Amino acid sequence: MEQAAPEDITALREAFGVDDGGESALGWEAVRAFEAEHGVVLPEPYRTFVAEVTDGSFQGPPEFGLVGLAELPSDWHSDGTDLKPAEPFPLTEAWLWEADESPFEDPEAVVDQVLNHGSLVLGTDGCAMNWHLVVTGPQRGHIWHITDVGALPFGAEFGHTTSAPGFAGWVRHWAAGKEWFDAESAQ
């Protein structure tokens, strides 16, 4: 099983200012219970973060804070019963369904899968602009920004940001005070 890099956990703890001895964390038993219930193994370092550091934070990221492992932002489109983290996340590249011609036979079904399959919602920037951590499928471990008009992967390899990919890269980017999509301004 993969392990979180100690330097990532240290950076995450510092970014969120958590020094409560793990009191705000879920603990390993709760994390394993969540994984068993949903048929997934959470990607590192997020897995260790919620087990040992904290389960959510009001300070962010994103704009309205990091929601807990089993929580959803207040502006979420449903009660959450349609979430299927064990089903593979369907995308491997950005897709703006409001602007692009769909590469899919049934685009509405794929939009539903993007919103509900293979990821956990980390939080919202408001107005249904949500950040997801992909937990199953080829994009496992990557962060995606999913809105009402499309979905965009986060990380320098995708060309929209200068940040490292994954949960630790996403948090470090936020902690550094950078704009989310800063690749254009870095050129």
pLDDT band at 68 (very low <50, low <70, confident <90, very high): very high
DSSP states along 85-121: TTSPP--SS-B-TTTSPPSSSSHHHHHHHHHHBSEEE
Give the pairing type, strands 119-124 and 151-154: unpaired
Position with higher pLDDT, 101 vs 171? 171
CA 119 to chain centre: 7
Instruction: Please say if the pLDDT value at position 186 is more than 60.
Output: no
Alpha-carbon distance 124 to 105, whole Å?
29
Could you give the residue ranges of the DSSP H alpha helices within the chain?
Answer: 6-16, 28-38, 46-48, 107-116, 166-175, 183-186
Residue type, 15: A
Q: Which has the closest alpha carbon to 165: 151, 175, 155?
A: 155
Q: Which has the closest alpha carbon to 82: 37, 115, 124?
A: 115
- Rounded to 10°, the helix 166-175/6-16 angle is 40
Instruction: Please say if the pLDDT value at position 109 is more than 80.
Output: yes
Contact 92, 139 (CB under 8 A): yes
What is the mean predicted confidence (pLDDT) over 90-106? 88
pLDDT in tens, 111-131: 999 999 999 999 999 988 999
If 0-12 CB within 10 Å is exposed, 13-18 middle and 19+ buried, where does residue 177 land? exposed
pLDDT band at 183 (very low <50, low <70, confident <90, very high): confident
Residue type, 166: G
pLDDT in tens, 9-63: 999 999 998 877 778 999 999 999 999 999 999 999 999 999 999 999 998 898 8
pLDDT in tens, 135-178: 999 999 999 999 999 999 999 999 989 999 999 999 999 999 99
Prediction pTM value: 0.94
pLDDT band at 98 (very low <50, low <70, confident <90, very high): confident
What local confidence, expressed as pLDDT, does residue 80 receive?
A: 86
pLDDT band at 185 (very low <50, low <70, confident <90, very high): low
